[in-house]
Structure 1
Amino acid sequence: MSHFSVVPTSDFAAAPTMEFAGVRLEQMSLEHCADLAEVVERDRLDEAWFASTPSAEGMEANIRARLKNQQAGTVAPFAIIDLSTGQAVGATTYLNIDATNRRVEIGSTFLGLPAQGTGINPAAKYLLLRRAFEELGCFSVAFCTHWHNEASRAAILRLGAKQDGVLRNHKYDPKTGTLRDTVIYSILPHEWPAVRTQLEARLRRHGRI
């Protein structure tokens, strides 16, 4: 039987600065609040009923909650910075950290509309996946989304993730009074080289590398 060294939870919950293809991921902080609130308010990102994007008014509380969960070792929150402007254009997070089983989920992600389709999101995913597999030694990286979020489901499949299943009536949303079916996807270590290659190809098409 093979034995693997345990990576400390503190390593998984860290949010180190990473740069690639004109994008920087950095530790989320309250300093990002103004930029992120502006992005959400301008593009009305919080109005999608199937997503859980914080409102502009709730951005500070959302950031504080992410930081509190980071202290508990369950998440690692990042701000997404467009290096061409130096501004935060979105956010993303390692969720449901399970250091013992070397598993993380990538989620709680939102991105301003002008940044969508520019290669910023693939660059951010590249950085998160590279760290997960090449630095943290993850056995699995998960992605979860609402059944009705067709754009998110298509984007996850474009990454090369495979669908694991659907958790029916998984979550109750008090805002809409609806129950969410959650679709779960994952990428495994042996799949990462192919995922990395296709992400690099996408970034070349966007002229980012």
Structure 2
Amino acid sequence: MSRWIEPVTLQGEHVRLVPLTAEHEAALAAAARDGELWKLWYTFVPSPDKTRAYIDTALDMRDRLGAHPFAVIDAKTGDIVGSTRYFNVDEANRRLEIGHTWYAKRVQKTALNTEAKLLLLAHAFDKLDAIAVEFRTHFMNHASRTAIARLGAKQDGILRNHQVGRDGVLRDTVVFSIIRSEWPAVRANLNYRLDR
């Protein structure tokens, strides 16, 4: 059966995105330890002992829902430094979301993240012919909200009491998107930032 999003590796100068597999478990656990990312209450990064369950869930989303999870590799060192995913795939309407993104602390706010987003967006708009790409984040995750806006995404709105967090706290979700007509300007912005 043909799928809209087939397994793909996306390669740049700073980052390589490869299809996530169970073999990435130990390296992902090590990446999460860099900054103890699972302790952030407003986002979800697996603790080292829950990395396998995280991967299993991502692969289940791939198989049942057409998602495409990636392991994020630092192209300079070859180290796995995080994960990201195409998900909430709506093939009929050519929409998808980029999310479940997290990086080891040492590569946050670097060219690696900028280039990863450029590769994901280019594949979505140029290869998959997406009409819109969405991003969502916790209202309290101010760093993520700033980073998404810096990409050139526009805030669509806030879904109030959208989800129940693992600690039982209700999450307000901020929704952003980039639509096809905005993609050339977003691409130019990301290339400019990479060149600097």
2:135 is matched with which residue: 139, 143, 148? 143
2:169 is matched with which residue: 166, 169, 178? 178
2:190 is matched with which residue: 199, 203, 208? 199
**Residues 1:78 and 2:67 aligned together:** no
* Aligned amino acid, residue 193 of structure 1: P
Partner Cα separation in structure 2 for residue 195 and residue 149 of structure 1: 22
Question: Contact 2:33–2:104 at 8 Å: present in 1 too?
Answer: no
Q: For each residue in 1:86-120, what CA deviation from the matched residue of structure 2 results, as whole angstroms up to 9, or x when unmatched?
A: 11111000110010000000000000111112210
Unaligned 5+ runs, structure 2: none
**Residues 1:52 and 2:44 aligned together:** yes
When normalised by structure 1's length, the TM-score is 0.90
**Residues 1:11 and 2:8 aligned together:** no
Q: For each residue in 1:57-79, what CA deviation from the matched residue of structure 2 results, as whole angstroms up to 9, or x when unmatched?
A: 11111101111110113311011
How many residue pairs are counted as aligned between the two chains?
Answer: 196
1:111 maps to which residue? Answer: 103
Partner Cα separation in structure 2 for residue 26 and residue 153 of structure 1: 25
Partner Cα separation in structure 2 for residue 182 and residue 41 of structure 1: 26
Classify the secondary structure of the residue corresponding to 2:161: strand
Question: Contact 2:14–2:111 at 8 Å: present in 1 too?
Answer: no
Unaligned 5+ runs, structure 1: 1-7
**Residues 1:32 and 2:24 aligned together:** yes
Question: Contact 1:9–1:99 at 8 Å: present in 2 too?
Answer: no
2:150 maps to which residue? Answer: 158
Classify the secondary structure of the residue corresponding to 1:11: coil
- CA-based RMSD of the aligned residues comes to 1.2
Tell me how far 1:42 sits from its aligned partner: 3.0
1:3 maps to which residue? Answer: none
Tell me how far 1:157 sits from its aligned partner: 0.2
Question: Contact 2:99–2:135 at 8 Å: present in 1 too?
Answer: yes
